[in-house]
Amino acid sequence: MTLRKRLFDLFFASLLVVILGPVILFLVAYIYLKQGRPLFYVAERMKAPDTPFGLIKFRTMSVVESDQGVSGANKASRVTPLGARLRSKRLDEFPQLWNILKGDLSFVGPRPPLREYVERFPELYGEVLKSRPGVTGLATIRFHKHEERLLSRCTTSAQTDDVYCRICVPRKARLDLIYQRHQNVCYDFDLVFQTIGNLFRKSKG
């Protein structure tokens, strides 16, 4: 990560913590009242091929003893009503401001992958993770909705894993590498504003 990109992240993450602080505190209280503890979900993700970190989100699913792989229709029954609303506006990702301040994430970059997929596709993720993972990115904007539709048709964990590995991993990696080749601060601004625009369009729809 370049110094300019890191300063960009620190400045805007700090600004958003101040601006969104009351909203985040309200969400903490509301989630506690509606679905109790735990309030947060901390999942292992990879910021480099050999470097894990704890990705923080507001909890949107019922708690189970073990959880593996990406979420498809096989996990849909675990999403709480409040969790579905948080996900629809990406409010569950507000706690990732802490990950940005710590340096685990950037605002813009590839979404941080699970360890199991990094280990299964080491060459691919060796290239993708040359960029610091982000909260949003080119692959998120261009492919996220299609990925959701694909995985929503999967009724078993094996089916979800097959579709994710065969279709989603290579397509997202291709977009992540396009971003990597063209990355600069102006491009990051553009992708952030596209993400915000998509959320507003979704809320109006």
Q: What region does 38 belong to: left with phi over 0, alpha with psi -120 to 50, or beta?
A: beta
**Cα–Cα distance, 167 to 54 (Å, whole number):** 26
25 or 197, which is more confident:
25
CA distance 72 to 161: 9
204 has pLDDT over 60: no
* Rg of the chain in Å (alpha carbons): 17
Rounded Cα–Cα distance for residues 110 and 113 (Å)? 8
What pLDDT is attached to residue 202? 59
Residue 49, φ and ψ in degrees, nearest 5? -55, -25
Task: Quick: pLDDT tens for 97-152.
Answer: 999 999 999 999 999 999 999 999 999 999 999 999 999 999 999 999 999 999 99
Rounded mean pLDDT of the chain?
A: 93
Map out the domains of the chain as residue ranges. Answer: 3-204
18-66, pLDDT tens digit by residue? 999 999 999 999 999 999 999 999 999 999 999 999 999 999 999 877 7
CA 40 – CA 97 distance, rounded (Å): 13
Region 154-159: mean pLDDT is: 92
**pLDDT tens-place string over residues 69-100:** 787 878 888 999 999 999 988 999 999 999 99
